[in-house]
């Protein structure tokens, strides 16, 4: 059929290539006019709304449920309890075989017999309006018998602590150990050892658009369509089919505009599964919106960790060993299907990963608690790993009396040391830590800031510089999830076609959640085929119309779907040129496509427009020479194979001032140098970094899901759970190094999570750099004014 053409130049060199250009996003226009389509904007005939009675207790037996008053409430269509729901939706278990020993109990769409976290859905009420559903929820009577909740991860494994799932034997979900080199010897012979215990506050995503599901079961054809604010349509399709008893082909998932996700909207939630089951039961559309108060107690939480760590430095001022003991307290279930073991697993994988050392010991334990569930959230595990690493590194530099930047320079993996295998087993193709560090220090005028810091200290003004070196997991292969049995695609595909107008349509399995992935695909397609960007249309998010793919997560969209798009675009180009060659009686090798027209490759002279070619192919096939069988459509799939992940690397730097009388932190400026390989759209990459940094600043200074000793979340509202707002955030300057991956033609890696991965480390280090001269140190985040005042000794330590 078609011959794959070898390009004389790289894609970046092609005339009119869009690679590397900061083009504005075509789909931004409708969002600027308020004409997006978010799931709550969709109205369907006979739509009804579901609201949930959620457990007010962290741990309670459900003794009885009386729904009679609720059923009589105005507008109510149906009330359903957990026992009945089991007939319509099977439970799921969040384990994967490659996380050895990970165990979890079956989780149901509505709690049966027991509620195991404050916020777990217990009863579903369907009514004509959301308000009526809530009125009826208030009339449901549930007799709860409180049980002792497990709320302290430190004691979750103690014999005296109740076991949440007796069938599992204990509250240990997962444990993993890594041992490399000779850790004991390294510590025994060290010149300097630093040791610290780090605490990370549990926090959550707070997407501005909450989770919304609109399930529409058509009994006439037995097909379930679910409109969802989600990141992974194909995975969701499988989960729905599997647990609702439908053929996978009878399920369609449609993701249109998504108001932020960051990993929150990639997990299986009992309330969403209930909504879908109800649609099938009622044979009409059912909408569920997780309102803001519900979101805090039902959206996945993340990053509730305590890490004990130490680091050894030898006589040559080289890091020789790192040891960590990571304890994390999740909820009562490992979340499905990606599991709640991955975050701790990543902490073990990534800690120390930027430095050149051979001796590493790590243990992580994941324990069940009666709190909200926890799972993957932007930069899974990375912030923990790098806060620990970079906190130890600054402490070591301090003990050595060495400048922290210089200590890093001496210990970061050399730029010519690749391929490199880290002590934890991670394999790096090629990174640029040293170049990135040098560039960061230059951009920020590091030495100038140090002089300023010293001078201001004389006047009692305490400013600090915090550095954080990091790597980011991107472009994951099947080794991440698929190998463990999950129906989560590590490949992605792109189907690209040319229509009679000469316009190009690409359909791909990733999802657009605001980061601009549709724009990236359009840029690549336009460049690969040779058409202006305006002639490219991108379809994502609909499992009926896109090739089976993985969705958006782990910063994979550009690297994986982008590569598939490039390959498909090239294939289409070759097909077009084959037809053009036949029509123009020229060798295809002497032709090119530029700006939407077939041209002479040498002279650039236009021979025919794609629109003219399209009209002939589609409407005037009689004009085609014999034997020419035009196929103006191509599909290619791509999956990374050689490396389990395409790592990126970066350096982040924070400059801030601590008001030592109040503990308040003022962020003055922030810098990031990021190496994510080939950059398709510099502005979009930079904006991902900025958004990610601010999200990480949230974790560093503001965000914390606070629980009391009864497992009640105390700050489950926007008034008390603090997210970063504009007035307190700094400007963020960004620079790039470009080290393409050789695994793909595009050479692009991911960039979506880097900002979040390193920001907590940079901010914490900056605070400690500011107050360290006063003998103060903060090792728990969020580094609230209270914690800083406690560290400074201005107030007593609380709980």
Partner 1 sequence: MKPAPFDYAKPNSVEGVFDLLDRYRDEARLLAGGQSLIPSLNMRLSAPAILIDITGLDALRGIVVGDGVLRIGALTTYSQLKASAEVARAAPMLSQAISWIAHPAIRNRGTIGGSLAHADPAAEMPACMLALDARLEIAAKGSRRRIAAADFFRGLFETDLKPGEILTAIEVPVIRADYRSGFSEFARRSGDFAMSGLAAHARFDGEVLNDVRLAYCGVDTRPVRARVAERALEGRPFGNAVLAEAKAALARDLDPPDDLQASGQMKLHLSQVLVGRVLTAMAKADGA
Partner 2 sequence: MIADREVTLTVNSERVTQRIEPRQNLVDFLREKLGLTGSHVGCEHGICGACTIRLNGMLVRGCLTLAIQAEGAEIQTIEGISDSGEIAVLQAAFLKYNALQCGFCTPAMLLTAAELLEENPSPSREEIRQYLSGNYCRCTGYQSIVDAVEDAARTMAGGSS
Which residues contact partner 1 (rule: CB under 8 A)? 129-131, 134-135, 138, 291-293, 661-662, 664, 702, 706, 714-715, 717, 719-720, 722, 725, 727-728, 784-786, 789, 794-796, 798
Nearest of 468, 553, 313 to residue 781 by alpha carbon: 468
CA distance 580 to 588: 7
Q: Is 719 in the site for partner 2 (CB under 8 A)?
A: yes
Q: How big is the CA angle at 343 (ends 339 and 346), to the nearest 5 degrees?
A: 120
Neighbours of 30 (CB within 10 A): 12
Of 276-295, which residues contact partner 2 (CB under 8 A)? 291-292
**Nearest-approach distance from CB 378 to partner 1, in angstroms:** 21
Judged by beta carbon distances under 5 to 8 A according to partner kind, the member of partner 2, partner 1, none in contact with residue 36 is: partner 2
Query: CA end-to-end span of the chain, whole Å?
Result: 71
Judged by beta carbon distances under 5 to 8 A according to partner kind, the member of partner 2, partner 1, none in contact with residue 784 is: partner 1
Phi, psi of 212, rounded to the nearest 5 degrees: -140, 135
* Sole window of 39-47, 276-284, 409-417, 553-561 interacting with partner 2 (rule: CB under 8 A): 39-47
**Nearest-approach distance from CB 706 to partner 2, in angstroms:** 17
Q: Is 208 in the site for partner 2 (CB under 8 A)?
A: yes
- The contacts of residue 178 (CB under 8 Å, 6+ apart) are 348, 360, 361, 362, 363, 424, 425
The 8-class DSSP code of residue 702 comes to I
Judged by beta carbon distances under 5 to 8 A according to partner kind, the member of partner 2, partner 1, none in contact with residue 222 is: none
The one among 121, 149, 205, 270 contacting partner 2 by CB under 8 A: 205
Phi, psi of 492, rounded to the nearest 5 degrees: -145, 155
Peptide bond between residue 203 and the one before it cis (omega within 30 degrees of 0): no
Closer CB to partner 1, 647 or 702, in the complex:
702
CA distance 362 to 348: 6
Judged by beta carbon distances under 5 to 8 A according to partner kind, the member of partner 2, partner 1, none in contact with residue 664 is: partner 1
CA distance 487 to 549: 10
Q: How big is the CA angle at 56 (ends 52 and 61), to the nearest 5 degrees?
A: 100
Closer CB to partner 1, 140 or 564, in the complex:
140
CA distances from 65 to 49, 88, 122, 294, 574 (A): 21, 19, 10, 21, 66
CA distance 607 to 597: 7
Q: Is the dihedral of CA 395, 401, 406, 409 positive or negative?
A: negative
User: Do 512 and 505 touch, CB atoms closer than 8 A?
Assistant: no
Q: Where are the alpha helices (DSSP H) in 542-663?
A: 562-584, 610-619
User: Do 741 and 558 touch, CB atoms closer than 8 A?
Assistant: no
**Nearest-approach distance from CB 351 to partner 2, in angstroms:** 26
Q: How big is the CA angle at 431 (ends 425 and 437), to the nearest 5 degrees?
A: 115
* Sole window of 28-36, 444-452, 469-477, 707-715 interacting with partner 2 (rule: CB under 8 A): 28-36
Judged by beta carbon distances under 5 to 8 A according to partner kind, the member of partner 1, partner 2, none in contact with residue 695 is: partner 2
Judged by beta carbon distances under 5 to 8 A according to partner kind, the member of partner 2, partner 1, none in contact with residue 690 is: partner 2
**Nearest-approach distance from CB 257 to partner 2, in angstroms:** 6
**Nearest-approach distance from CB 668 to partner 1, in angstroms:** 17
The 8-class DSSP code of residue 500 comes to T
Pairing mode, strands 359-367 and 319-329 = parallel
Q: Is 731 in the site for partner 2 (CB under 8 A)?
A: yes
**Nearest-approach distance from CB 41 to partner 2, in angstroms:** 4
Judged by beta carbon distances under 5 to 8 A according to partner kind, the member of partner 1, partner 2, none in contact with residue 683 is: partner 2
Query: Pattern 675-704, binding to partner 2, x per CB under 8 A?
Result: --------xx--x--xxxxxx---------
**Nearest-approach distance from CB 688 to partner 2, in angstroms:** 8
CA distance 383 to 304: 11
Judged by beta carbon distances under 5 to 8 A according to partner kind, the member of partner 2, partner 1, none in contact with residue 455 is: none
Q: Is 40 in the site for partner 2 (CB under 8 A)?
A: yes
Q: Is 25 in the site for partner 2 (CB under 8 A)?
A: yes
How many binding residues for partner 2 (CB under 8 A)? 56
Closer CB to partner 1, 281 or 665, in the complex:
665
Judged by beta carbon distances under 5 to 8 A according to partner kind, the member of partner 2, partner 1, none in contact with residue 209 is: partner 2
Judged by beta carbon distances under 5 to 8 A according to partner kind, the member of partner 2, partner 1, none in contact with residue 152 is: none
Closer CB to partner 2, 31 or 582, in the complex:
31
User: Do 680 and 748 touch, CB atoms closer than 8 A?
Assistant: yes
Closer CB to partner 2, 237 or 690, in the complex:
690
CA distance 203 to 226: 28
In which residue are the tokens 């994941």 written?
A: 366
**Nearest-approach distance from CB 720 to partner 1, in angstroms:** 6
Judged by beta carbon distances under 5 to 8 A according to partner kind, the member of partner 2, partner 1, none in contact with residue 1 is: none
**Nearest-approach distance from CB 319 to partner 1, in angstroms:** 37
Q: Is 758 in the site for partner 2 (CB under 8 A)?
A: no
Nearest of 249, 264, 260 to residue 298 by alpha carbon: 264
Closer CB to partner 1, 608 or 729, in the complex:
729
- How does DSSP assign 372-429, residue by residue? --B---SSTTHHHHHHHHHHHHHHHHHHHT--HHHHHHHHBPPTT--SEE-TTS-EES
The one among 5, 12, 20, 38 contacting partner 2 by CB under 8 A: 38
Q: Is the dihedral of CA 787, 790, 796, 799 positive or negative?
A: positive
* Sole window of 24-32, 334-342, 413-421, 568-576 interacting with partner 2 (rule: CB under 8 A): 24-32
Of 638-677, which residues contact partner 2 (CB under 8 A)? none
**Nearest-approach distance from CB 767 to partner 1, in angstroms:** 16
Q: How big is the CA angle at 73 (ends 72 and 79), to the nearest 5 degrees?
A: 70
**Nearest-approach distance from CB 667 to partner 1, in angstroms:** 12
Estimate the crossing angle of helix 562-584 against helix 610-619, to 10 degrees: 80
Q: Is 732 in the site for partner 2 (CB under 8 A)?
A: yes
Given the rule CB under 8 A, which residues bind partner 2?
A: 24-25, 28-29, 31-38, 40-41, 43, 74, 131, 205-210, 257-262, 291-292, 513-516, 683-684, 687, 690-695, 717-719, 723-727, 729, 731-732, 755
């Amino acid at each position: 059929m078609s011959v794959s053409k070898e390009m004389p130049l790289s894609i970046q060199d092609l005339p009119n290539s869009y690679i590397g250009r900061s083009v504005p996003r075509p789909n931004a226009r409708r969002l600027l006019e308020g004409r997006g389509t978010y799931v709550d904007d969709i109205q369907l005939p006979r739509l009804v709304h579901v609201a949930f009675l959620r457990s007010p207790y962290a741990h309670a037996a459900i003794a009885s449920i009386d729904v009679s008053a609720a059923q009589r409430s105005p507008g109510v269509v149906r009330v359903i309890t957990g026992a009945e729901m089991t007939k319509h939706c099977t439970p799921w278990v969040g384990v994967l075989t490659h996380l050895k020993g990970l165990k979890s109990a079956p989780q149901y769409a509505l709690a049966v017999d027991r509620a195991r976290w404050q916020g777990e859905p217990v009863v579903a009420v369907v009514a004509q309006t959301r308000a009526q559903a809530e009125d009826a929820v208030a009339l449901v009577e549930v007799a709860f018998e409180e049980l002792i909740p497990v709320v302290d991860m430190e004691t979750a494994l103690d014999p005296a602590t109740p076991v949440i799932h007796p069938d599992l034997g204990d509250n240990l979900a997962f444990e993993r150990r890594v041992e490399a080199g000779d850790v004991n010897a390294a510590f025994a012979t060290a010149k300097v050892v630093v040791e610290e215990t780090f605490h990370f506050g549990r926090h959550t995503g707070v997407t501005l658009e909450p989770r919304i599901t609109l399930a529409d079961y058509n009994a006439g054809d037995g097909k379930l369509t679910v409109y969802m604010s989600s990141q992974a349509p194909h995975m969701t399709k499988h989960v729905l089919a599997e647990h609702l008893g439908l053929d996978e082909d009878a399920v369609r998932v449609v993701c249109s505009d998504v108001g932020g996700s960051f990993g929150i909207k990639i997990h299986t939630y009992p309330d969403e599964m209930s909504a879908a089951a109800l649609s099938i039961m009622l044979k009409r559309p059912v909408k569920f919106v997780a309102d803001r108060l519900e979101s805090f107690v039902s959206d996945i939480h993340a990053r509730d960790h305590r890490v004990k760590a130490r680091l050894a430095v030898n006589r040559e001022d080289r890091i020789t060993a790192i040891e960590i003991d990571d304890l994390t307290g999740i909820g009562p279930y490992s979340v499905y299907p990606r599991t709640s073991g991955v975050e701790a697993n990543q902490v073990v994988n990534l800690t120390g990963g930027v430095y050149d050392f051979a001796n590493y010991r790590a243990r992580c334990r994941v324990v069940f608690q009666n709190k909200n569930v926890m799972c993957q959230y932007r930069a899974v595990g990375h912030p923990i790993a790098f806060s620990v690493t970079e906190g130890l590194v600054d402490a070591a530099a301090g003990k050595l009396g060495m400048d922290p930047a210089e200590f890093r320079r001496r210990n970061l993996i050399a730029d010519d040391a690749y391929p490199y295998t880290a002590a934890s087993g991670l394999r790096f193709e090629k990174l640029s830590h040293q170049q990135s560090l040098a560039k960061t220090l230059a951009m920020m005028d590091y030495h100038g800031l140090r002089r300023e810091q010293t001078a201001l200290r004389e006047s009692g003004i305490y400013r600090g510089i915090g550095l954080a070196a990091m790597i980011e997991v991107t472009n994951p292969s099947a080794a991440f999830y698929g190998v463990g049995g999950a129906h989560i695609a590590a490949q992605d595909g792109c189907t690209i076609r040319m229509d009679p107008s000469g316009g190009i349509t690409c359909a791909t399995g990733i999802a657009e959640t605001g980061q601009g992935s549709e724009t990236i695909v359009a840029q690549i397609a336009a460049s690969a085929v040779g058409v202006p960007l305006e002639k490219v249309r991108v379809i994502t998010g609909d499992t009926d119309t896109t090739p089976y793919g993985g969705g958006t997560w782990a910063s994979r969209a550009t690297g994986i779907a982008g590569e598939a798009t490039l390959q498909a675009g090239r294939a289409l180009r070759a097909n077009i040129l084959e037809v053009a060659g036949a029509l123009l009686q020229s060798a295809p090798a002497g032709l090119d496509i530029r700006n939407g027209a077939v041209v002479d490759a040498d002279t650039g002279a236009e021979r025919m427009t794609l629109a003219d070619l399209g009209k002939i192919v589609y409407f005037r096939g009689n004009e085609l020479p014999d034997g020419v069988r035009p196929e103006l459509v191509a599909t290619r799939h791509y999956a990374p194979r050689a490396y389990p992940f395409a790592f990126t690397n970066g350096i982040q730097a924070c400059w801030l001032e601590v008001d030592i009388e109040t503990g308040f932190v003022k962020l003055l400026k922030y810098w990031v140098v990021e190496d994510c390989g080939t950059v398709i759209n510099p502005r979009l990459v930079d904006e991902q970094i900025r958004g990610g940094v601010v999200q990480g600043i949230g974790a560093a200074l503001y965000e914390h899901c606070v629980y009391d000793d009864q497992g009640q979340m105390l700050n489950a509202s926007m008034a008390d759970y603090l997210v970063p707002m504009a007035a307190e955030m700094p400007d963020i300057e960004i620079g790039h190094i470009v080290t393409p991956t050789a695994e793909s033609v595009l050479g692009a890696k991911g960039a979506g999570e880097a900002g979040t991965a390193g920001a907590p480390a940079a901010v914490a280090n900056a605070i400690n750099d500011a107050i360290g001269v006063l003998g103060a140190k903060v090792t728990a985040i969020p580094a609230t004014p209270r914690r800083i005042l406690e560290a400074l000794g201005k107030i007593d330590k609380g709980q």
